[in-house]
Amino acid sequence: MLEKLRQVESQQNLELADRLHSAAIHLLRRLRREDSASGLSAPRLSALSVIIFGGPVTMGELAAAEQVRPPTISRLVKDLERQGLVSRKPDPGDERVQRVSATAKGKRLLNEGRRRRVSKLATGLARLSSKERRQLLHSAELLERLTLPDGHPDSRKTGRKEQQQRHRATEG
Amino acid sequence: MLEKLRQVESQQNLELADRLHSAAIHLLRRLRREDSASGLSAPRLSALSVIIFGGPVTMGELAAAEQVRPPTISRLVKDLERQGLVSRKPDPGDERVQRVSATAKGKRLLNEGRRRRVSKLATGLARLSSKERRQLLHSAELLERLTLPDGHPDSRKTGRKEQQQRHRATEG
DNA sequence: AACTAATAGTTAGCTTAGCTAAGTAAATAT
DNA sequence: ATATTTACTTAGCTAAGCTAACTATTAGTT
């Protein structure tokens, strides 16, 4: 009978996971169209945020923080650079690694873009009770903890050395 | 001074919105690679779910439920059809509208795919306390409510008539 | 009855963002 | 001195979003 109970629990976890999944999809779709004005899509916003709050950061660290493969970051940073939002220079100690940092323009745009993007959501949040908001905050933190740990499955040795350094993306 | 307080509050809402945004991005990125085996990406999973639990559904209703433009749904359904997961036939009453429903294969695959996709997350959830899980569930519901209402900005009159019919995507 | 409007979908074509595979260049190890 | 590993890039594919422009059906107006 303990077995039975465990099955019920895991079924509930599956359903909860499903709800969270669904909520996340809808949240992002809702927010997506808010960002076109600033030229900052969700991934760019997120990466830029890591760059700003994580200090000058390497490509590998960025990939790890964003949970994305190196080529994805490579292109993303190239684009941000073309927009004049970040700059990079090779690490003095190791010529292979690129250290990326944000420009003044990048910092300015992050705040504007972020605000624009999430402001609709923030408006909705304002209508909630402060207790509900506290719960949401707590939930967000829980989710980040559930999401980040134990690295990529098959991370092809990307950034082994630096991988334990975790950045908190898009916050600050 | 009340003004000041209101500013602080809105700043906090912005930050909370930001955290939720970030958590959603990371959650989805984490889960994305789980679904390749079944051939069901997040958008397909979500749409298929609406089709199954919303009954035979029109393209417009699907677009509204998924918060996406008609062409996006058009292609998505075409792909699902090619995979043999859904079928459609013109509405008898109105030859313009397409009624989409899931095949047996589609129903089977939804459950498998969903399970595969969220199982990693569910495993993480199992490590939480039941109180924390309850909070997460509540938060997911809050977010869905914040996300769904008041339709598209500029929805170009898509499905006006049916738009108030809301479907609960990816749950059930 | 015949136009005109509106509505439901589709097609074409663009963009972004993810991926793998394969390549370069620097650092490390044998 | 050479081979391996590491950090990143390039090339090229796919999925999924979008707008603009199209077809076909329905509804509305003289």
Residue pair B144/B137 in contact by the 8 Å Cβ criterion: no
Q: What number is the average pLDDT over the span A11-24?
A: 85
Would you say B118 and A17 are in contact if contact means Cβ atoms under 8 Å apart? yes
Q: Is the pLDDT of residue A101 over 80?
A: yes
Assign domain A1-126 one CATH number from 1.10.10.10, 3.30.200.20, 3.40.640.10, 3.40.190.10. Answer: 1.10.10.10
List the domain boundaries for chain B.
1-126
Strand C footprint nucleotides (protein C-beta < 7 Å): 6-13, 16-22, 25-28
Does the distance separating the beta carbons of B147 and A19 come in below 8 Å? no
Mean pLDDT of chain B: 79
- Residue showing tokens 């960002």: A35
Among partner residues A46, A124, A137, which is closest to B19 by beta-carbon distance? A137
Pick the closest to residue B66 from B143, B153, B148 (CA basis): B148
- Taking an 8 Å cut-off on Cβ atoms, the answer to whether B19 and A140 are in contact is yes
C-beta separation of B54 from B70 below 8 A: no
d(CA B106, CA B85): 4
* pLDDT digit string, tens, across residues A18-74: 889 888 888 887 776 555 566 688 899 889 999 998 889 999 999 999 989 999 999
Q: How far is B95 from chain A (nearest CA, A)?
A: 30
What share of chain A has pLDDT > 70, as a percent? 74
| Selection from A88, A79, A33 nearest residue A56 by Cα | A88
**Which of B14, B26, B146 minimises the CB distance to A144?**
B26
